[in-house]
A and B are shown apart, each in its own frame.
Chain A
Amino acid sequence: MMSLERTYQDYGHPLWRRWLVNRESAIIVLLIAVLAYASIAVPKFATPATLTYLLLDVATILMIALAMTPIMITGDIDLSVGSMVGLSSVVFGVLFQAGWSIPVAIIAALAVGALGGALNGLLVTRIGLPALAVTIGTMALFRGIAVGLLGTTAVTKFPKEWTSLAKAKIPGTPIPMVMILFVVLLIAFALMLHFSSFGRGVYAIGRSKDAAAFYGVNVARTRLILFIISGVIAALGGIYYTLRYGSARGDNATGLELQVIAAVVLGGVSVFGGRGALHGVIAGVLLIGALSSALRLANVTADVINIITGVLLVVSVVASSLIDWVQARRTKRLNRTSSTPQPATVG
């Protein structure tokens, strides 16, 4: 019993300690600390309007981060999401301009997202290419088609009821309507990832593809489905982005993929796969969003936010890697001292 406890130190601690001392909790605590400090130190931060704009600004990233999380847990990555936001925005705009009704244009743009995601997924699973290389290619391809279709022009003049819906608040609260959509998605993703056999398969693939396959997980199908979902969600983000800013442009959301990945990694998802959870990711997105909005209100220029994002990302991953290393060393030392006097207790 003793040595077992020491080998699997994660499980050796009581439940409350495991819940409090982990990567996700650390980010949530940091988020609360930032919110608390900003509310005191930054004038006008603790107002309903700040919350509204903060949520409106991060809504696209929040949605896409939901889909990026399971992909990164399987050890893949999707760099094409920012370009897919641009492409779906353009497709949506062009079809609207051609006289399609908004709902039909939305469905068509979502279908483009599914197709793009399927292209990524098929190249990764059928041809066996690394996701990083594939999505660097489709990142250029999707953005290129988007820019090619519209050039430097933009489609504007979307119907007022749709653009104001994108910015509307839930009556009586400072919370934007789009958060309802987000919460529905969040519940769906949480059920999929944390409460279904499909989700257990996602984690298993991230730990070991071979072991997952032996265990009966359909590795190729799971990865393909995740890429298609990612494409659809990115397209949804693109439609929201278009309506929110009232403009469909080829260069919409350039560089968004890096913000999403930074937030997901900050939220505790391992780039090696196999570890991470949605609540950490959401805290990661909100942390970067809250920092940006607090700094902007404090009249710190936008560039400093970039420095902070970068440093936060590097420090958080290096710190967690160092903690792992120290723990592994401690475990090894404990095992060495304990295994000699009582080897029989292992089983």
Chain B
Amino acid sequence: MTAPDELKGKRILLIEDEESLAIGLEYNLSEEGYIVDWAKNGREGIEKINTGNYDLIIVDLMLPYHDGFEITKLIRSRDVQMPVLILTARSSNEDKIKGLDYGADDYVVKPFNLKELLLRIERMLRRKSWYKNLEKTGETFRFGNNRVNFINLECAAGEKTFRLTPKEAMLLKYLAENSSRIISRKELLENVWNLNSDVETRTVDIFISRLRKYFEPDPENPVYFKSVRGAGYIFEPGN
């Protein structure tokens, strides 16, 4: 298994202080066709973030000098699009929620399944490419009378302009990527929040309701963000 051609040569920063794990990951990611840069601690990680140009960052939580939470927060404060994957031995729900809340896109607990990790990385890089394509063409995602700029998260619904939160943008982005397909709450929780479905599925409903308020002409009778009874949601942006 190697990464698709369009993703080969993507630069990944790996911030991990466990030497043998880092060597193993570096080997596997390089075999996939990615270019890997390894930082051995939090301080080195921040230096590399400041100077390097990366497509994805993998960060451990328990790091010398600066922990993974701090680093994730720092990355997110500078770049809303940078895919960040937390790879850690800490498996408590508090840590997962904190990591995702600080802006990580994915949270993988050690020991992990190699194939699963590589697929997650590939998916994150695909999303990043999607962002970049938008940036290149200068296009804004449009549906109906709405415009969404996923780069700065600025939106316009008719005359009204506003800014989405990163999580709202991620949800909308996932729906847009999977438009005209029924998506279950479970799938949204797993892919947008990176949480298992044991966690309150009501979170999804709350966020969908927010999107309806922003973009639907009549949120009570949605035309874009439709509910599918017993199945989940379907996003129909129209032409």
Is chain B found bound to chain A in the same assembly?
no
User: Which positions in B face A, CB cutoff 8 Å?
Assistant: none
